[in-house]
Homo-oligomer: A and B are copies of this chain.
Amino acid sequence: MPRAAYHHGDLHQQAHDQALAVLRLEGDSAISLRAIAKQIGVSAPALYRHYADRESLLAELAISGFAALRQQLLSVDQHAPRAALIGIGLAYVAFAQSEPNLYRLMFGGRVLPKGAHPRLDQAGLDAFNVLQDTIARGQRAGYLKPAPLPLMTATAWSLVHGLSQLTIDGHLPNADAEPQLAEGITSLLLEGAITPTHPHIDNNEDNP
């Protein structure tokens, strides 16, 4: 077996795990190849046999993050359209809140420019498609308006992503009542924000 062997045999996976642990605890900027190598008990350049550079390591973490997010979204019950939509939203926000640093890496944008890591882009698309399919199902069931699918998907994605980002970074004042917040927001999108008493008369006067 591997008793201080020259060839480690498991370096790739072990570096991945170690980096993920550091990411969870301290965020992506705290991930250091040298520190990871030292922790594993290997020299720093050894990591370059398994990752082209630091960014590739981070990309791989983000890829597994998107896969986990996708799994979490796939586990939502798709029976009733409304429950499915709200369930997707709650699952999405719950993922972000349970893995804030991983989520920030996945969507940070600072690292990982769009086209640099094709597998990353694909993983993001795969998660995106779960949400899109749920919306399309809601439309086919007649529950959702027949608005253009890209528009509806962009709206839903923007809403859950924005809420996730704002909550995990503490930007929302009145941060009390979080679970109700996510559900209330989703409901508000579904049912609309304007008063349903009259069909919209646009140029309404505003003073009392």
Contact = CB atoms under 8 A, between A and B. Distances in A.
Contacts of A79: 206
A194 interface: yes
A104 interface: yes
A94 interface: no
Interface residues of A, number: 73
Contact of A196 (B82, B199, B206): B199
Interface of A: 27-29, 78-83, 100, 104, 107-111, 114, 124-125, 128, 137, 140-148, 150-152, 154-163, 165-166, 168-174, 181, 184-185, 188-196, 199-200, 202-208
12 contacts: A82-B194, A114-B169, A128-B171, A145-B193, A147-B184, A147-B188, A154-B172, A157-B162, A157-B171, A159-B159, A160-B162, A192-B194
